[in-house]
Every structure is written in C-alpha cells, then in structure tokens.
Amino acid sequence: MRLNLRFSFFALLQLVWVSLSPCYCEVLAQDTKPNIIVIFCDDLGWGDLGCFGNPVIRTPNIDRMASEGQKWTQFYVAAPVCTPSRAALMTGRYPIRNGMTSAKRAVLFPDSGGGLPPEEITLAEMLKDAGYTTGIVGKWHLGHLPEYLPTAQGFDSYFGIPYSNDMDKTGGPGYMAEVRKDTSYYPQFEHYNVPLMRNTEIIERPADQNTLTKRYTEEAIRFIEDNAKQPFFLYLPHSMPHIPLFASANFRGRSPRGLYGDVVEELDASVGAILDTLRDLKLDSKTLVVFSSDNGPWLSFETHGGSAGPLRAGKGTTFEGGMRVPTIFWWPGKILPSTKQDLGSTLDFMATFCAIAGGELPENRKLDSYDLSDVLFRDLESPRQEMFYWTNAQLHAVRRGPWKLHLKMREAVNYGKEVELAKPELYNLEHDISEKYNLADKLPESVELMLKLVDEHLLDIDPHEDMLAIPLRK
C-alpha cells in the first residue's frame, strides 16, 4: 500500500506540474526572451558521464544539471562525424540537404576551401533576427576561410579554433601508435599547427591546447557577463575530448580514468562554472542551457577514446553508439526535472529555439526540425517519431518507434569499411539497446513497413547541388 500511495503522490504531482506549467507561448508572454546556451562536446560518448552510467569519471556538475533538468536518453545527432553533425545542428536540416556531408572534402581538410553554403540559414541568423546577441566560443569546423567563418554566418563574435584540434599536424609521433604503446602518453601541442582565432584574426598559432578548455570557459563567462542585460545566444562547441587530448595543469593526472577522464572532468568543471555564473547573475531562471555531443566516442584510440556504454560501436558508424548522444536540457523553474525516453535530435534545436525565442523559421526550404517545447514545458510526447541515419551522403538506417532497420553498415571501429548487407537487418532498440539480435526474418511485415518509410523519405529529399552526382541509395 505504501508503494501505491507513493506512486499516486508523484503521479498527482506530475499532473499538477503539467497543468500549471506554461507552454512556450505563455513563457514568452510572461518573461523577456530567454537566453540560450548550447554546450557541445566533441566525441563525448553516451557512456562517459556519471548521470549516464559511467562508474569512474566524476561529473558532479553535469550530474546536477541532469537532476535539475531533463535528461534525454534517446537523443540523436544527424551524422556520426564532426562537420555534418554540426551543420545539421546549425541549420535544422539533414546534411544531404545542406551539402555538408562527409563527402564534402573541402571542409574536412584545412588546405582547401569550402564551407557551409552562405544561403543556408543558421541558428545564429534566426536568433539574431529575433533580437539576440550571438556568440560562439570553441570549434567551428564549417569552413575556415573568411566567407565561411562564424562571423559570416550570423555570429556577432567568435573565439576558438576553425576545425578539429588534430589537423595541421606538423610532426611528432603518430598519436594512435603512441597510445597503443603507452596509455599514459601525453601529446605536445606544438605538433599541431592549429590556429586560435578571434573573429577573423589568428591570435595564436599553434594554439596552446593545454589551456583550451580553460580559456573557452573564461571567454564564455565573459560573454555572459557582457550580455547579461539583453537576450543572448551562446554556442560553446568544445574541442575536447577529440584527440589529441589535453587538460590544464589543475586537472592533469587527477582522474582514475586516465587522461581521457581528466579531459572530461575539466569539461564538467567548465559546465559548473557556467551554471554558477548564471546563478550569480540571477540569469538561471531566464536561460535555457543544453548540453550534448557531436557524435559518439572515437573507439580506435582505445583508452584515449570514450565509451558508448551499452550502445553498439561509436564514432563514424550509424550504430547507436555513433549517433545517440548524452543530452540534457536545463532551465530552472521552467523545465520539469525528469528523464525522457522520447526521440529527439540536435536537428530539433532550430524549431525549438525559434519557438521559445519568438523567431521565424525559414519558409523557403525543407527543414527536418521538430519543436520540442511541449516536451520541455508540458511533459507531452515528442513530435519526433523517426530518425534517419545518414553518413557520407548515404542513408544507412532508419528508426521508427522502437524499430531500427539497417540498410547497410560500417565496421564498428575508426570509420571502418562499409558493409553491404545481403538483406536489411531489423532491431528492437527498446528490447535490445546493443543491437545484437536481428529480427528481420521473424518480422518480415515490419521490415516492409520500414522500407516504405525509407522510400518516402528518399522521395522527400531534395539534395544539395553538390550531392546530385552521388546516388542516395546504392
């Protein structure tokens, strides 16, 4: 009886919250436009945080953020690697639509030109039009030439590196070989001629990566303080824990998980400092903060890579470990603390932020973004019911409800060879989170229904002109 009474009490409490919690339009009617902060890690795995089950890495600030906010356990990026994932977040469009797939070599290699097409409308541009001051602190990776830098894509200010921290390598030992010889290997930042930029100017080269997380945090706090009296959008895409791994002196050698743990624990401290700043400035009740990652862990770097927990594989693959990422929404007094098992995606930031900011979505292009406001504020069901798993301009898989159908696969470690399947494979992700048990032969009707969903999606795709020469489905 005691358990039943307890259940009834919490069920009643939740009903009261839902009935009283304002929808996003009421939030806007009562308050000024809320601030929005996106903290975006690089190659952080689903299983790398305490609140997502890691038993060793200590993340008390992110864990507190999860307990005070909404933790989403089935949240996805639109691609399993850096550039297309970030392009999807920025535009609310699958990379096949905006041209920023992994096939677009111009963005993946810093010795060539190219970047996010100027005609794309970014989160920053949408929010700037809605009256926001916009800033980015961290890794961009959507074009390093002046016409593609953040200041040309709607951001008022930029401090960070223009692409991944392992690029422009100038010498020194091979990182993977050294890690496999000695798990305590610590790289030298001088071996990576990565520029640190402010707006369009290079202010340091090579960037001292030992202090990047620390300096990003200080710059983010400065941006918050400088814009405390007006609505702002801060995009904080960290360079870590992408390899090469670097941590500042106060965190190096501290974690029982080794260097990777040091790096993640410094990121946790960064989150804590930012949330403390919001509390000190009395901005916590006026600010939505989202924490997530650009893709899964880089498993081939062994102990210098992260963990996807029970999920299969990692970065570079369209298995769950490559595209399902740890995600938290935090807004004290506005968001009901809870754990969400609904589907969501970084694609949905565009529509969601537009709704809470009172902005306008672009009408002259196809968006793949759903407004999650009612999930955040009223505990209703997510409007996202499906997820399409694209990589390198190819559709590899689709999810609908608990069902995931693989059309093709990539080997599990380090961008492995693409595997052509003799026939599609079907998995029930709610019963089989690790994608171990193929049910296609037992459920042929379900396979056919999923294949129809694939066909409908491909008919709906209007590929970017750079993608026209690439068949969508081989």
pLDDT over 60 (residue 131)? yes
Instruction: Look up residue 468 and give its two tokens.
Output: 């026209």
pLDDT tens per residue, range 436-448 = 999 999 999 999 9
* Whether pLDDT at 3 is above 80: no
User: 141 with 192, same domain?
Assistant: yes
* pLDDT value of position 471: 61
Query: 201 versus 103: which is more confidently predicted?
Result: 201
- Where does the pLDDT of residue 474 fall: very low under 50, low under 70, confident under 90, or very high at 90 and above? low
In this structure, is residue 11 part of a structural domain? Answer: no
The residue out of 346, 380, 414 marking a domain boundary is 380
Residues 302 and 451 in one domain: no
| Residue after which a domain boundary falls, among 326, 348, 380 | 380
pLDDT at 14 over 80: no
Residues 132 and 69 in one domain: yes
Q: Of 380, 410, 438, which residue constitutes the final position of a domain?
A: 380
Read off the pLDDT of each residue in 88-110 and give the average, rounded to a whole number: 78
Q: Are residues 28 and 89 in the same domain?
A: yes
Q: In which band, very low, low, confident or very high, does the pLDDT at 468 lie, cut at 50, 70 and 90?
A: low
**188 and 227 share one domain:** yes
Does some domain include residue 15? no
Per-residue pLDDT band for 336 (boundaries 50, 70, 90) equals: confident
Which is it for strands 70-72 and 338-340: parallel, antiparallel or unpaired? parallel
239 is a domain residue: yes
Residue 10 resides in a domain:
no
Q: Which of 8, 34, 61 is nearest to 357 (CA)?
A: 34
Single out the residue of 168, 433, 453, 422 nearest to residue 320, CA to CA.
433
Residue 356 counted as domain residue: yes
415 shares a domain with 361: no
Distance CA 263, CA 42 (A): 11
Residue 125, in any domain of the structure: yes
Quote the CA–CA distance of 311 and 436 in Å, as a whole number: 10
pLDDT of 7 above 60: no
Host domain of residue 260: 21-380
Task: Looking at the structure, tell me whether residues 188 and 275 fall in a common domain.
Answer: yes
254-272 pLDDT, tens digit each:
999 999 999 999 999 999 9
| Residues 419 and 287 reside in one and the same domain | no
pLDDT of 4 higher than 50: no
Given this model, what pLDDT does residue 335 score? 96
- Asked whether the beta carbons of 312 and 52 are under 8 A apart, the reply is no
This prediction has a pTM of: 0.92
How confident is the model over 32-65, as pLDDT tens digits? Answer: 899 999 999 999 999 999 999 999 999 999 999 9
Query: What percent of the chain has a predicted confidence (pLDDT) above 70?
Result: 88
**Can you give the pLDDT at residue 466?**
67
Question: Active site includes 82?
Answer: yes
Question: Total structural domains in the chain?
Answer: 2
Choose, from 25, 41, 82, 304, the residue flagged as catalytic: 82
Give the per-residue pLDDT at 21. 45
Number of Cβ within a 10 Å radius of residue 364: 6
Take residue 18 and report the two structure tokens written for it: 């839902």
Catalytic residue flag (residue 41): no
Q: How far apart are CA 77 and CA 346, in angstroms?
A: 5
Q: Are residues 200 and 64 in the same domain?
A: yes
Q: Which two tokens stand for residue 371?
A: 């407004």
Q: What is the pLDDT of residues 136-193, one digit of tens each?
A: 999 999 999 999 999 999 999 999 999 999 999 998 999 999 999 999 999 999 999 9
Residues 357-371 pLDDT 10s: 999 999 999 999 999
* 392 and 463 within one domain: yes
Give the whole-angstrom CA distance, residue 175 versus residue 301: 8
* Mean predicted lDDT score pLDDT of the chain: 91
Per-residue pLDDT band at 348 (split at 50, 70, 90):
very high
Residue 31: pLDDT above 60?
no
Per the domain annotation, does 348 fall within a domain?
A: yes
Task: Give the model's confidence band at 403: pLDDT under 50 very low, under 70 low, under 90 confident, else very high.
Answer: very high
For residue 176, the domain's CATH number is 3.40.720.10
Supply the pLDDT for residue 412: 67
Same domain, 151 and 72: yes
452, 340: one domain: no
Query: Predicted confidence band at 12 (pLDDT cuts at 50, 70, 90)?
Result: very low
At 189-206, the pLDDT tens digits run 999 999 999 999 999 999
User: Is 4 inside a domain boundary?
Assistant: no
- Greatest mean pLDDT among 165-179, 279-293, 403-417 lies in 279-293
CB 65 within 8 A of CB 271: yes
Residue 22 contacts residue 299 (beta carbons within 8 Å):
no
Q: Which conformational region is residue 393 in: left (phi greater than 0), alpha (psi within -120 to 50 degrees), or beta? A: left
Domain CATH for 400: 3.30.1120.10
**Span 400-410, average pLDDT:** 95
Identified catalytic residue from 41, 141, 144, 354? 141
Identify the residue with better confidence: 404 or 420: 404
pLDDT of residue 351 exceeding 80: yes
